[in-house]
């Protein structure tokens, strides 16, 4: 694994915003060479999403700047380990450059609205003609076909339409989105998963092909037990705040000075928790998990009353001692300062061409060989707009005249 599991793979990334760039970044984290194709002048939409925008000053990084002079932290979140080139895909020169990229690529990613890539002169049959081994990933908002197949998709709209917001929030009257654009991120994850599967198939058959997913599909794909509550049991899930609909007690409770979370996922754990905090172990409504779920408000009230006499620190110590899974609710500063998170490679150092040394959230996967030796990728900072245009066009031209992709 000298260069990573995908070190021999070249990815052409035509995507923007978050779902596609996240998929491309996952492939880049695995060692693939990812060439991000952006429009001249503005580039990926997320380059302008903020504040915060950051710049390097004499005293370090600062956000006290006009937006036009800074780097979007949103863009930094989903574009590490990539190269950036600018191409005008509506010009003959841009079309020529993309044609050469497709011929040399293993993977092509796009998240245009359905039909846009066709109008640019690159329908599926043309891409396959240029490169029969090309693996293509296409991400849409609500699917590429069906009665609403051409509908534009944005994360929060998809969270609502796909049912997630109806199950999230303090109560059924307050639909709430997740704290991150989870529909976009899941579509990117499913997309990268599909690409790797298709590359594995190509190794057997020599042929590429098309993978499709959508924001709608990505959220429905993680409904999990909430989905089968409806499809099998006929129950419509509703928001229940910070508590589990099928396990009790499981969720967030109040201490004397804050909050603590517990996960009593078995009867054995309940038999440890109840006597330690004076809870009615075998009383009616408390004896089994099914009883406790049906009697949820009373059970949660009893746990809150018992926990109110203890600080969060004391609760966590006692819960750890009796073996009941528990934890606090950290903010992001606490997460990135946490030695456990750092030990897992979840914070990485890169050298940005403008900002200098910066830290970014790191990839969630680690790879080891059979002897237990870990592969460490040398991470690179998200690129400036068009930072690698000359280098990539020179590579495409081989020994000939450089290709002008802007013309």
How far is it, in rounded angstroms, from Cα 407 to Cα 403? 10
Domain spans of the chain? 10-44+79-222+377-397, 250-327
Q: How far apart are CA 274 and CA 263, in angstroms?
A: 13
Residues assigned a catalytic role: 184
Q: How much is the pTM?
A: 0.93
Reported as a pLDDT band with limits 50, 70 and 90, residue 405 is low
User: 3-class secondary structure for 328-348?
Assistant: CCCCHHHHHHCHHHHHCCCEE
Residues making up the chain, counted from first to last: 407
CB 163 within 8 A of CB 220: yes
Same fold, 10-44+79-222+377-397 and 250-327: no
Is residue 404 scored above 90 in pLDDT? no
Q: Which residues pair with 10 in a beta bridge?
A: 33
**Per-residue pLDDT at 321 exceeds 50:** yes
pLDDT at residue 407 in the model:
44
Rounded to the nearest integer, the mean pLDDT of the chain is: 94
Instruction: Summarize the confidence of residues 284-290 as an average pLDDT.
Output: 96
Question: Reduced to 3 DSSP states, what percent helix, strand and coil does the chain have, rounded to the nearest 5?
Answer: 40, 15, 45
* DSSP label at residue 68: G
Rounded Cα–Cα distance for residues 205 and 143 (Å): 27
Encode pLDDT of 328-362 as tens digits: 999 999 999 999 999 999 999 999 999 999 999 99
Nearest Cα to 4, choosing from 380, 392, 381? 380
pLDDT for 200 beyond 50: yes
Does the pLDDT value for residue 403 go beyond 70?
no
pLDDT in tens, 123-132: 999 999 999 9
Which of 5-19, 51-65, 297-311 is predicted least confidently? 51-65
Q: Which residue carries 């609710």 as its tokens?
A: 329
Residues 174-190, mean pLDDT to the nearest whole number? 97
Whether the CB-CB separation of 326 and 250 falls below 8 Å is answered with no
Token pair for residue 15?
């995507």
Tell me the pLDDT band of 4, cut-offs 50, 70 and 90. Answer: very high
CA distance 207 to 201: 8
Query: What does the alpha-carbon distance between residue 72 and residue 263 come to, in Å, rounded to a whole number?
Result: 38
pLDDT tens-digit map of 133-168? 999 999 999 999 999 998 988 999 999 999 999 999
For residue 118, give both structure tokens.
Answer: 């066709």
Does the CA dihedral 144-150-152-155 come out positive or negative? negative
**pLDDT tens column, 21-69:** 999 999 999 999 999 999 999 999 999 999 999 999 888 899 988 877 8
With 0-12 CB in 10 A as exposed, 13-18 as middle and 19+ as buried, what is 109? buried
Q: What integer pLDDT is reported at residue 58 of this predicted model?
A: 85
CA 268 and chain centroid, separation = 35
Residue 231 scores a pLDDT above 70: yes
The dihedral of CA 28, 44, 383, 405: what is its sign? Answer: positive
Q: Which CATH number fits domain 10-44+79-222+377-397: 3.40.50.1000, 3.30.1360.70, 3.40.50.10540, 3.40.50.300?
A: 3.40.50.10540
Tell me the three state secondary structure of residue 83. Answer: strand
What would the mean pLDDT of 304-325 be, rounded to a whole number? Answer: 97
Higher pLDDT, 404 or 181: 181
Q: What is the mean pLDDT of residues 78-101?
A: 96
pLDDT higher than 60, residue 96: yes
Tell me the percentage of the chain whose pLDDT exceeds 90.
92
CATH superfamily placement of domain 250-327? formyl-coa transferase, domain 3 (3.30.1540.10)
Instruction: Report the C-alpha gap between 285 and 331 in whole angstroms.
Output: 35
Where residue 135 falls (left for φ over 0; alpha for ψ -120 to 50; beta otherwise) is beta
């Amino acid at each position: 694994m000298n260069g990573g599991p995908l070190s021999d793979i070249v990815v052409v990334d035509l995507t923007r915003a978050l779902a596609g760039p996240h998929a491309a970044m996952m492939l880049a984290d695995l060692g693939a060479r990812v060439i991000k194709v952006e429009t001249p002048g503005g580039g990926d939409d997320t380059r302008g999403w903020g504040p915060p925008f950051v710049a390097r000053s004499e005293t370090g990084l600062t956000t006290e700047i006009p937006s036009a002079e800074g780097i979007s932290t949103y863009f930094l979140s989903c574009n590490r380990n990539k190269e950036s080139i600018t191409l005008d895909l509506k010009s003959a020169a841009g079309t020529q450059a993309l044609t050469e990229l497709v011929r040399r690529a293993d993977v092509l990613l796009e998240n245009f609205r359905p039909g846009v890539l066709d109008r640019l002169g690159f329908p599926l049959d043309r891409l396959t003609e240029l490169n029969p081994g090309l693996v293509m990933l296409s991400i849409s908002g609500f699917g590429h076909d069906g009665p609403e197949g051409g509908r534009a998709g944005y994360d929060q709209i998809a969270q609502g339409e796909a049912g997630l917001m109806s199950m999230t929030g303090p109560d059924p009257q307050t639909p709430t989105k997740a704290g991150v654009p989870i529909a976009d991120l899941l579509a990117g994850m499913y997309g990268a998963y599909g690409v790797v599967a298709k590359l594995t198939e190509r190794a057997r058959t020599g042929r590429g092909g098309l993978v499709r997913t959508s924001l709608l599909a990505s959220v429905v794909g993680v409904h999990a037990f909430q989905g089968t509550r409806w499809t099998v049991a006929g129950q419509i899930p509703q928001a229940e705040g910070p508590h589990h609909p099928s396990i009790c007690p499981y969720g967030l409770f109040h201490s004397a000075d804050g909050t603590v979370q517990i996960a009593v996922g078995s009867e054995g754990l309940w038999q440890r928790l109840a006597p330690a905090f004076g809870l009615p172990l075998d009383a009616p409504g408390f004896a089994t998990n099914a009883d406790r779920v049906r009697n949820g408000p009373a059970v949660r009230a009893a746990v809150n009353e018992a926990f109110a006499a203890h600080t969060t620190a004391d609760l966590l110590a006692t819960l750890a001692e009796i073996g009941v899974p528990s934890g606090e609710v950290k903010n992001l500063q606490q997460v990135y300062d946490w030695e456990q998170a750092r030990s897992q490679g979840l914070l990485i150092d890169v050298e940005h061409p403008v900002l200098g040394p910066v830290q970014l959230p790191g990839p969630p996967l680690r790879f080891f060989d059979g002897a237990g030796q870990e592969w460490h990728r040398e991470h690179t900072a998200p690129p400036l707009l068009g930072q690698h245009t000359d280098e990539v066009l020179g590579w495409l031209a081989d020994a000939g005249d450089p290709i002008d992709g802007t013309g």
